Amino acid sequence: MGAKIIDGKAIAAGIRGEIARTVSKLTLEGTRPGLGVVLVGQNPASISYVNSKENDCDEVGIYSHDIRLPANTSESELLHIIDNLNHNPRIHGILVQLPLPKDMNEARIIAAILPEKDVDGFHPANLGRLLLNLDCFIPCTPYGIVKILEIENIPIEGAEIVLVGRSRIVGAPLANLLFRKGYGGNATLTVCHSYTRNIEKVLSRGDIIIVATGNPGLIKGNMIRNGTVVIDVGINRVEDSSRRKGYKLVGDVDFDSVKQVAKAITPVPGGVGPVTRAMLLWNTAVAAQRFHTDRKEV
């Protein structure tokens, strides 16, 4: 029997429904959640993400303030824009679309966002709080993965999880989330990266395998054991002349062979991506809720 194909679009729609109710309540009480999105340059994938985020905001009633800047924007101009968003009472969440142009200091830009508006969860204060198991904004992709597992009734607690990838955006925060003693955690975790030897042997340990490497089709069906749950984070453009755009999106998992042996699998597209986007809205609603509560208490 083939794997269950986890429907990330349906999961995301359910989460957006929940967010829309919170947003509507907050708006009626006088605080309409607002998200400021900053895009620097013309990276096609980034433009497409930012457009989708705008549509998502419209759908759930979040006010979105979109700032698109040319690639030659200076770092000091960008810092000035972030400072304005930090002080704008209509904006509760700020997202600076990554990657930034190469000559910009990404760490300095992210650190300029107020931690209480850092709905991407990449500010050092939020990442530090995640590590310390304190209340924080959980980065959207790790949060989305935990939500998928939760909604699909796949226990994380006590599970053997093999995570492939340790990037600052996905792997590292996800690892911290999965092994911490708290929400989304208590897994027995193994993290693989480009220095891992004999990855197949390591993968065979996993009840759940999560792959975020940016290598199309890296994980094949013969590398995992029967009954594994596979979460494919990768989003890779590969050439496909039969498509109008000239490319198609594929994951880091060889879907056709892995679905024969896995118990469940997230497809690409339509798996982790939509849920990641929903968690950005979730974090924005939470930021607005905190702002609203603080304002009432003053």
| Residue ranges in contact with ligand NDP by CB under 6 A | 141, 164-167, 169-171, 192-196, 212-215, 218, 233-236, 272-273, 276
Q: Is-catalytic flag, 103? A: no
> Which residue out of 97, 118, 207, 254 is catalytically annotated?
97
Task: Return the number of the residue (178 or 233) whose C-beta is nearest ligand NDP.
Answer: 233
Q: Exactly one of 53, 117, 147, 259 is catalytic; name it.
A: 53
Which entry of 56, 120, 252, 254 is annotated as an active-site residue?
120
| Cα–Cα distance for residue pair 59/62, rounded to 1 Å | 8
User: Which of residues 23 and 162 has its CB atom nearest to ligand NDP in the complex?
Assistant: 162
Start-to-end Cα distance in the chain: 59
3-state secondary structure 111-147: HHCCHHHCCCCCCHHHHHHHHCCCCCCCCHHHHHHHH
Q: Pick between residue 81 and residue 233 the one whose CB is nearest to ligand NDP.
A: 233
Annotated catalytic, 42? Answer: no
Q: How far is the CB of 255 from ligand NDP (least distance, A)?
A: 14
Q: Cα separation of 2 and 256, whole Å?
A: 10
- Residue 81 or 121: which CB sits closer to ligand NDP? 121
Residue 196: what residue type? T
CB of 12: closest distance to ligand NDP in angstroms?
Answer: 11
Q: Is-catalytic flag, 97?
A: yes
Q: 75: which residues sit within 8 A by CB, 6+ positions away?
A: 103, 104, 105, 108, 109
**Shortest gap between Cβ of 21 and ligand NDP (angstroms)?**
24
Cis peptide preceding 115, ω within 30 of 0: no
Query: What's the closest the beta carbon of residue 164 comes to ligand NDP, in angstroms?
Result: 5
CB-hemisphere CA count at 13 Å for 250?
A: 15
Q: Which residues are catalytic?
A: 53, 97, 120
